[in-house]
Amino acid sequence: MPRNIAPLGNVRVARCLDPEIMAVVERADPPPFAETEYDGRLARVRGLLAERGADAILVFRPSSVDYLSGYHSAETAPQPLLVTGDARYLYVLDLEIGRALASSTVEDILYCDYSTMHRALESVTGHVASVLSAGAVVALENSSTGTPPMVTAMLQDAGLSVVDGEALVERCRLVLSEAEIGYVEKAATVTQLGVDAAVAAARDGGTDAQIGAAITYALIAGANSKSAWGPVVATGERGGIAHSTWRNGPLLADVTFIEFAGTHYRYHAPVMRTLGHGELSPKARRLESLAQTALATVLENAAPGVTVSDVAEAAIREIGPLRDDEVFHHMFGYPIGLAHPPHWMDGAPFYISTSNHEPFETGMTFHMPGSMRSFGRRGVGLSQTFTLVEGGTRVLTHGAAEIIPL
């Protein structure tokens, strides 16, 4: 594929772009999907842009840039993608030309000096204006924390009209293709390696930190990408405090809560599991039962065409009233798939909750976070990653949703 690589703004011209070397770089990290997969994604996005009367969308969320172009990097500075009706322009740091060549499917790559972010964004928005007609409508994903607030004013100052993209790309990402679901399945195999490593480390008398280290090694050693978040290892009282994790101490009380995700090309398959050590308390067993009930209700009731809120309400009825010391978020699932740091929950806020009155669709894929806690005492997490198939759900992660005895 011929590449058009050009400097943008006040930046030194890259002199390293020898054609033979570029060919080597392009083979270093090829996109994980066939070109037809990206073509289909772009067609859907462009169709939605046309429906909303927008001429282009400037995408800042790194996972959405990846989704539409394959581009990914360890760099966290804003590196947006412009999608018009017939072209794509990828804007990267001058140091990131190699990553753009190696990983992206984009023909037009513009590089900036990002040492001064304000000037770089001025260069980007100026280029956007140069390829669009005066008064053109540009969509921005304002809900993404990665979209710099100043960009709206910059685009307007350049003579463009700006509208809220309303998570346009992220909503396209809600329905996974067969190829994407296959990657989540491969990620789930890596996830199980982490579960097995956690159990082995715990049975060897490891500390909570050593269990976390064993999980991390298993997730990285058996994968081609890194998880966006975790692992969490919360034992004893910290298990009863959401998002607490290891402190390099022994396992406490009767249960230890763990949560993490294996990956495959940045597609995630999270699980929550719970390790049981010694005789389990009645409270731990009650939390286990509540988590199992919530999970089973979602898996049994969710199906394409079913209203999301109906499933959430059914789960609330089944778990019944919680006791005063019990904590649960009453959010029974969130979409997962392609994700970049800081978290695998990296897309549209399409939650399985009582406030979401939209229907499930075939191919939507969720993590059901069945975490029940006795506040400040202990926590039990039993979850699965699942996808919507004709007539119901299919669990992608491995292992039973029950406390794992040590």
Domain that holds residue 68: 4-173
Host H or E run for residue 21: helix 19-26
Residues 320, 350 within the same domain: yes
| pLDDT given for residue 16 in this prediction | 82
**Alpha helices per DSSP H over 104-207:** 117-131, 150-157, 168-173, 178-203
Cβ contacts of residue 365 below 8 Å, gap of 6+? 176, 180, 181, 184, 335, 336, 337, 385, 386, 387, 388, 396
The last residue of a domain, from among 104, 139, 173: 173
- 188 with 145, same domain: the answer is no
- pLDDT score of 159: 96
Reported as a single tens digit per residue, the pLDDT across 329-368 is 999 999 999 999 999 999 999 999 999 999 999 999 999 9
155 shares its domain with 64:
yes
- Give the length of the chain: 406
Indicate whether 162 and 240 sit together in one domain: no
User: Nearest-CA neighbor of 333 among 341, 360, 234, 322?
Assistant: 360
pLDDT in tens, 365-386: 999 999 999 999 999 999 999 9
232: number of Cβ within 10 Å: 23
Instruction: With cut-offs at 50, 70 and 90, classify the pLDDT of residue 73.
Output: very high
Distance CA 84, CA 87 (A): 5
Q: Which conformational region is residue 363 in: left (phi greater than 0), alpha (psi within -120 to 50 degrees), or beta?
A: left
pLDDT band at 144 (very low <50, low <70, confident <90, very high): confident
Q: What are the tokens at 89?
A: 């322009």
Identify the pLDDT of residue 374. Answer: 97
The reply to whether 265 and 146 lie within a common domain is: no
Q: Would the pLDDT of 309 be above 80?
A: yes
Of 92, 72, 81, 5, nearest to 42 (Cα)? Answer: 81
**Mean predicted lDDT score pLDDT of the chain:** 96
One domain, residues 132 and 243 = no
Domains in the chain, number: 2
Q: Which long-range contacts (CB under 8 A, 24 or more apart) does 320-328 make?
A: 322/290, 325/374, 325/375, 325/377, 326/287, 326/290, 326/372, 326/373, 326/374, 326/375, 327/240, 327/242, 327/372, 327/373, 327/374, 327/375, 328/290, 328/294, 328/371, 328/372, 328/373
192 shares a domain with 139: no
Q: 214 with 332, same domain?
A: yes
Q: What is the pLDDT of residues 161-218, one digit of tens each?
A: 999 999 999 999 999 999 999 999 999 999 999 999 999 999 999 999 999 999 999 9
Q: What is the pLDDT of residue 78?
A: 94
318 and 267 inside one domain: yes
* CB hemisphere CA count around 358 (13 angstroms): 10
| Spatial contact of 310 and 317, defined as CB atoms under 8 Å apart | no
Short-list 111, 108, 100, CA closest to 29? 100
Based on the fold, state whether residues 9 and 156 are members of the same structural domain: yes
Q: Is residue 299 over pLDDT 80?
A: yes
Q: Which of 128, 155, 173 is the last residue of a domain?
A: 173
pLDDT at 356: 98
Q: What is the CATH classification number for the domain harbouring 106?
A: 3.40.350.10
Beta bridge partners of 191: none
Boundary (domain end) residue, out of 173, 199, 216: 173
Q: How far is it, in rounded angstroms, from Cα 268 to Cα 181?
A: 10
In degrees rounded to 5, what are phi and psi of residue 399? 90, 155
- CA distance linking residue 358 with residue 18, whole number of Å: 52
Judge if 305 and 290 occupy the same domain: yes
pTM across the whole model: 0.97
Same domain for 74 and 36, yes or no, is yes
What is the CATH classification number for the domain harbouring 278?
3.90.230.10
pLDDT at 1 over 80: no
Q: How far is residue 216's CA from residue 155's CA, in Å, rounded to a whole number?
A: 42
